Structure 1
Amino acid sequence: MARRNLFQPPAPPGPADEVATGDLKPRFPNTGAMSGVKSTLKDLSSNAVREIPVDLIEEDGPKDRLSFSDADIASLAESIKQHGQQVPIMVRPLADKPGRYKIVYGRRRLRALQTIGMTARALVRTLSDEEAILAQGQENSHRLDPSFIEKALFAAQLSDNGYDQPVILDALAIDKPMLSRMTKVARTVPEAVIMMIGSAHGVGRRRWEELADRVKVSSADLVQVVSNLNLDKVPTSDDRFARVSDAISEIGKSANITKSEAHVIVSSDGKTLAEVKDTPRALTVKLSKADTPEFTQWMRDNAEVELKRLYEAWKSGQKSG
């Protein structure tokens, strides 16, 4: 059954500040920590918005967006200068720092207000860590459109900070299989590489998973490889992703070629005895009938005896070692 958005600010958002939430329906269950949030904020519409100096608001905590571009912040700041801050941010008091607050949601608005020196219109709520994360997640599910990798990093941060899985699932409105996929990508692709790529809104889960699979089998210093790609000159994060993906793919191809190159064994009289090829599936020894036909015939007749002898010699060496 549809439920009202617990975090919808009392002042209707204007077109000049940010995109309105409209009639989007929240997807969070009315259980667990969300019940506490509902109880705390049940009369939200009747509570006044407060004016708080921006230097009293701290921004630490799990971030749901990779970055804000300077142009994006400048555009929003100009809009706020002209039309005012239409949509309040949400903060919670810091118990160990009286008079100071911690951002719950509205980081982009806060950054824009900081650039122009305006006080922030804010909803002040006393929330637990879990309630604050759920509030942040629900607000972003309505107001923002986080990319797959932004949500994956957010989920990883929540896990690292000790949040239980049900809280993470509710905060991101996802199921366990999707959380597993997000975690796989966030844990496999170096965060430094992700930060250099950016949010990549046009890149979905499948392509990020493919990149993670290629990263997993690569032994190269990926951060150094990506640093050499001059990504700062690539205009969009989707294009940066493509360049990184191509580079890591080439590393994988080179590694496979190296592994598949044959090692040639030459006798003391200069004859090619065999080629040894190491592949992911097998070690292959190929004898040359052209260069040493008699030895090849002898090896075929004595292969079982000789291989068993070599195996026993190897076992003996293992024991003595």
Structure 2
Amino acid sequence: MARRNLFQPPAPPSTGSAESPTETKSRFPNTGAMSGVKSTLKDLSSNAVREIAPHLIDDGGPKDRLSFADEDVATLAQSIKEFGQQVPIMVRPIAESPGRYRIVYGRRRLRALALLGQSAKALVRSLSDEDAVLAQGQENSQRLDPSFIEKALFANELTDAGYENSVILDALAIDKPMLSRMNKVTRGIPRPVVGFIGPAHGVGRRRWEELSELFNSGIQDVAAMLSAVDSKAGALPSDERFNAVHGEMTRSTASPKASRSAPPALSMVHEDGTVLAEVKETARALTFKLSKTDTPDFARWMRDNAETELKRLYEAWQASAKAD
């Protein structure tokens, strides 16, 4: 099924005219020059850019960026001051607050315009929550992409807000395995650590996954680790802060103390001798590792059915806990 295009302007609303079809047809024929005028007016109506004061626009909702540095906003504001706002933002009306709007995309532009005290050029669209998320994701796909961790946090926020997986996949232009990887990373790395590192645009998925695994291997005092790294790398760029945290975690998990604190892995074996999985427990996680070499078909089946089976086990556990 083709992805919906949220940038396609909606049809203008009906005027509610009481004229009969015959009268309309005779006064405004659908052929020749008049047809072209009507088409042009329709396009203008749906594409019109409005001038809206920034204080009337709520910038809440799902975030697809970790933060905007003050210097970045100031640089953009200077560019807008010199050349004007070249690209409009998109907003949608807030039904319960007439005259106010909620931003769909263009948060950095909005902050720059607020800094300048200028009205924002905005496309106004009446969108549902789902359509707003899709528009936000599609706009980002056509402009500078957020980093991997920003996309992962955006996906996590949408999941927590109750959006369907189909909406999240469409908004971020990803597939289910990638969504699963993103969720694993955001669950594995403490949020204060992500906040300290920042967007790290030069760091890809694999290194974030490595860092998540390092945290799953066990560290008790995240605050102490961050304090130690901050004293050495707090003023460095985001990518280098990532490297500093990664290096500190690699050293701490490789220490004899860390090795002694982790219980040995448990091998789960079927009665016919087949090794089903290796279970590893750390201070932060319980990990099941299936071998794609020994049991490739089972590993593939578990990958495709993990969500269903885990929900079934969780519900069985809930029923057992209530019975006790």
| Structures share fold, TM-score greater than 0.5 | yes
Identify the residue that residue 235 of structure 1 maps to in structure 2: 236
In 1, the alpha carbon distance for the partners of 2:145 and 2:68 equals 13
Q: Which has the higher contact order (CA 8 A, sep 6+)?
A: 1
Identify the residue that residue 201 of structure 1 maps to in structure 2: 201
Contact 2:92 / 2:103 at 8 angstroms: preserved in 1?
Answer: yes
Aligned residues: 235
In 2, the alpha carbon distance for the partners of 1:104 and 1:241 equals 30
Identify the residue that residue 179 of structure 2 maps to in structure 1: 179
Contact 1:89 / 1:120 at 8 angstroms: preserved in 2?
Answer: yes
TM-score (norm 2): 0.67
The 3 A distance-change label for structure 1 pair 184 and 44 is farther
Task: Calculate the aligned-residue CA RMSD, in Å.
Answer: 2.3
Would you say 1:40 and 2:10 are equivalent positions? yes
Q: Which has the larger radius of gyration?
A: 1
Identity of aligned residues (%): 56
Identify the residue that residue 247 of structure 1 maps to in structure 2: 248
In 1, the alpha carbon distance for the partners of 2:2 and 2:134 equals 12
Identify the residue that residue 30 of structure 1 maps to in structure 2: 2
Q: Pick from 280, 289, 292 the counterpart of residue 264 of structure 2.
A: 280
1:145 CA displacement:
1.7
In 2, the alpha carbon distance for the partners of 1:217 and 1:41 equals 55
Tell me the amino acid that sits aligned with residue 242 of structure 1: N
Deviations for 1:267-308, whole angstroms, at most 9, x for unmatched residues? xxxxxxxxxxx96259xxxxxxxxxxxxxxxxxxxxxxxxxx
In 2, the alpha carbon distance for the partners of 1:188 and 1:218 equals 11
Contact 1:52 / 1:119 at 8 angstroms: preserved in 2?
Answer: yes
The 3 A distance-change label for structure 1 pair 162 and 255 is farther
Identify the residue that residue 64 of structure 1 maps to in structure 2: 64
The 3 A distance-change label for structure 1 pair 134 and 258 is closer
In 2, the alpha carbon distance for the partners of 1:70 and 1:124 equals 27
Q: Which runs of 5+ in 2 are unaligned?
A: 13-41, 267-324
Contact 1:77 / 1:113 at 8 angstroms: preserved in 2?
Answer: yes
Contact 2:234 / 2:241 at 8 angstroms: preserved in 1?
Answer: no
Identify the residue that residue 140 of structure 1 maps to in structure 2: 140
Contact 1:93 / 1:125 at 8 angstroms: preserved in 2?
Answer: yes
TM-score (norm 1): 0.68
Contact 2:92 / 2:125 at 8 angstroms: preserved in 1?
Answer: yes
Q: Which runs of 5+ in 1 are unaligned?
A: 1-28, 261-277, 283-321
1:235 CA displacement:
2.2
Show the 5 A alignment for 1:1-321: 30-31=2-3, 34=4, 38=8, 40=10, 46-230=46-230, 233-254=234-255, 259=260, 280=264
